[in-house]
Chains A and B, each alone.
Chain A
Amino acid sequence: MTDTDARVIRGVAASKGARRRLNGGGPRAGVITAFLTPFFLPFVLFYLVPVGYAIWQSFRVVRRTGGQYGTSYTTFGGFEQYGHVFENTEFWSSIGRIGLFGIVQVPVMLFVALIMALLLDTPLLKLKSFFRIAVFMPYAVPGVIAAIMWSYLYSPQLSPVVDLLQGLGLHPDFLGPGAVLWSAANISTWLWTGYNMLIMYSALQSVPQELYEAAKLDGASNWAIAWRIKVPMIAPSIVLTTVFSIIGTLQLYAEPAVLRQISSNISSTYTPNMLAYAVASGNNYQQAAAISVVIALITFVLSFGFMRLTSKRAGL
């Protein structure tokens, strides 16, 4: 039995226990169950069961009875599939690529988002709501469509940007082997900066104004207020946006998949997720499941690790 299955069973057991013991005055357990079930039933079926199923599958292997043409059957294989994942050079290069992508793209995006949130929070800036909407607008654009739009701006035949740069004597190749990763990173940045900016901006809005006034009376400059007071005050939302960005980066699929349609420099196993899909398309579901589980584990370790690290630093 997998971990998740055990958790589900414990969860169900817990809600059964709730049926009997209740604090006086509240609704009956049956009523509480009726409130919870419409969410928990699909949550268990479409979230927890697939997670459990993927973990179970990742421990299975396909074997054949005698030679290439024997009948195949699946059986318990222990960590065999995980062994294949760790030996797979395509897996490691996709992880390396996405790691490089994340280490550059996430800090750049969050830094730009933070600067914009701080600018929007100062009384100096005019036309605030216009800027806010313009920057947040890409969030309404699906990743696939954003990638299609940008791929036209990258393509040498159609792009006004390429034309412009050529006019300046430059010959950019946005789809070349060295550049295409950063072209994909640019699409992610375009899509998500406004969303992250708005989370930080909303947090800034809920900081009590008196804090700033006290600092101003002490003669602090606008920059000092921004870096010494505002940024630490909204640290939790910066952590949150970082965690969301880590999760998003490891799931990257749509943008490189669209760029692959116009660039030969993106392989079918360019990102871990593309690799999982390519392996599943080859009907090797057990191997694909192991890859998905490893991606999810890396996601968990990185996001929890980051939250731990930052909360210790902040002394919380």
Chain B
Amino acid sequence: MALMLLLTIYFLLPVYFLIVAATKPQGDLASTNGLAFSHFNLFSNLHTLFTRSDGIFLHWALNSVIYAVLGAAVGTLISALCGYALAKFQFRGKEFLFSVILGGVLVPTTALALPLFLLFSATGIVNTYWAVFLPSIVSPFGVYLARIFASAAVPQELLESARLDGAGEFRTFFSVASRLMAPSLVTIFLFQFVAIWNNFFLPMVMLQKESLFPVTLGLYTWNGQTARAPLLQQSVITGSLVSIVPVIIVFILLQRFWRTGLATGSLK
């Protein structure tokens, strides 16, 4: 119990520090104890954050939401279709395709970023939304999970009877199978959402235009400028807090989905 408490303090300390620091005026950051509140200045910090450089932070936050929400939604749909087909249809080369996908789970995604940059610059989509969005929708791990979930959640007899009733395969998928798979689809969505939200290397390689940055790359850029512009420090801190709080809340609300996903992912 004591060990657990100690570890919990370790895991919560940086976030607590961030909360405290985000409420302080810039001048108090170095001069007051980092773990104790001083002048409550959060609202003015937020105001500075959102108005700095013509409100670029809001742009970054919206970009992150666009990349992560849309990317994960499209990614979940295509993973579900593919995983469902691999679980429920019989066709030649199925196991081969599945092992290629599993091989994809092991490919380090950072190794893909540089060749992708060269390919994308040849086609002219580098430095656009597409350059970050398109590679983000592919999640081999999502297909792997979708296949396992589809085998477990969708009984074969149900598909047979839907076929006898004359429903097409897509109709069966969208009106019957996808409903049975709904909780697991949420799981796949969450995994991919976090992967895209946390992604840093791909956008850094692909984007030069600041207005396209996700929040991770934006804050990284600001953080690199604090040596020259020390007043940016407070905005980096407040910006960090603003960008992690919504995701943490969603996490806590949806935690049961994580557990089913991780349990399935670890079955071999």
The answer to whether B197 and A142 have CB atoms under 8 Å apart is yes
A137 interface hit (Cβ, 8 Å):
yes
The answer to whether A144 and B216 have CB atoms under 8 Å apart is yes
Which of A38, A47, A254 interacts with B82 by CB under 8 Å? A38
The answer to whether A7 and B100 have CB atoms under 8 Å apart is yes
The answer to whether A36 and B97 have CB atoms under 8 Å apart is yes
The answer to whether A160 and B34 have CB atoms under 8 Å apart is yes
- Comparing A96-104, A150-158, A221-229, the segment that makes contact with chain B is A150-158
For the complex, give the distance between the alpha carbons of A237 and B259 in Å.
13
B252 interface hit (Cβ, 8 Å):
yes
Q: Whose C-beta in chain B lies nearest to the C-beta of A203?
A: B266
Which of A251, A258, A299 interacts with B223 by CB under 8 Å? A258
The answer to whether A39 and B143 have CB atoms under 8 Å apart is yes
Chain B, 7-28, CB within 8 A of any chain A CB = 7-8, 10-15, 17-18, 21
For the complex, give the distance between the alpha carbons of A45 and B115 in Å.
11
Q: Known: A53-B118, A247-B106. Is A144-B220 also a contact (CB below 8 A)?
A: yes
Chain A, 170-209, CB within 8 A of any chain B CB = 190, 193-194, 198-203, 205-206
For the complex, give the distance between the alpha carbons of A146 and B194 in Å.
14
Using a Cβ–Cβ cut-off of 8 Å, how many residues does chain B contribute to the interface with A? 95
Chain A residues within an 8 Å CB radius of B255: 132-133, 136
- Comparing A10-18, A75-83, A87-95, the segment that makes contact with chain B is A10-18
Which of A46, A158, A296 interacts with B30 by CB under 8 Å? A158
Chain A residues within an 8 Å CB radius of B219: 144-145, 148
B161 interface hit (Cβ, 8 Å):
no
B201 interface hit (Cβ, 8 Å):
yes
The answer to whether B104 and A47 have CB atoms under 8 Å apart is yes
For the complex, give the distance between the alpha carbons of A143 and B237 in Å.
15
Chain B residues within an 8 Å CB radius of A270: none
A14 CB to closest chain B CB, in angstroms?
3
Using a Cβ–Cβ cut-off of 8 Å, how many residues does chain A contribute to the interface with B? 109
B182 interface hit (Cβ, 8 Å):
no
Q: Whose C-beta in chain B lies nearest to the C-beta of A146?
A: B14
- Comparing B41-49, B50-58, B240-248, the segment that makes contact with chain A is B240-248
For the complex, give the distance between the alpha carbons of A285 and B119 in Å.
12
Which of B85, B108, B266 interacts with A247 by CB under 8 Å? B108
4 further A-B contacts with Cβ under 8 Å, apart from A141-B15, A153-B17, A158-B30, are A42-B135, A45-B134, A134-B11, A137-B15
Residues of A within 8 A of B (CB): 7, 10-11, 14-15, 17-18, 21-23, 26-27, 29, 31-32, 34-36, 38-40, 42-43, 45-51, 53-54, 57, 112, 115-116, 119, 124-126, 130-146, 148-153, 157-161, 163, 190, 193-194, 198-203, 205-206, 234, 236-237, 239-241, 243, 247, 250-251, 253-254, 257-258, 261, 273, 276-277, 280, 285, 288-289, 292-293, 295-296, 299-300, 303
Residues of B within 8 A of A (CB): 1, 3-4, 7-8, 10-15, 17-18, 21, 29-30, 33-35, 77-79, 81-82, 84-85, 89-94, 96-97, 100-101, 104, 106-112, 114-119, 134-135, 137-138, 140, 143, 168-170, 173, 194, 197-198, 200-201, 205, 215-217, 219-220, 223-224, 226-227, 236-237, 240, 243-244, 247-248, 250-252, 255, 258-260, 262-263, 265-268
> What 7 A-B pairs come out closest when comparing CB atoms?
A14-B93, A160-B34, A202-B263, A39-B82, A237-B266, A35-B85, A18-B91
**Selected A-B contacts with CB under 8 Å, 9 pairs:** A17-B92, A26-B90, A45-B134, A115-B3, A145-B216, A149-B14, A199-B262, A202-B262, A273-B110
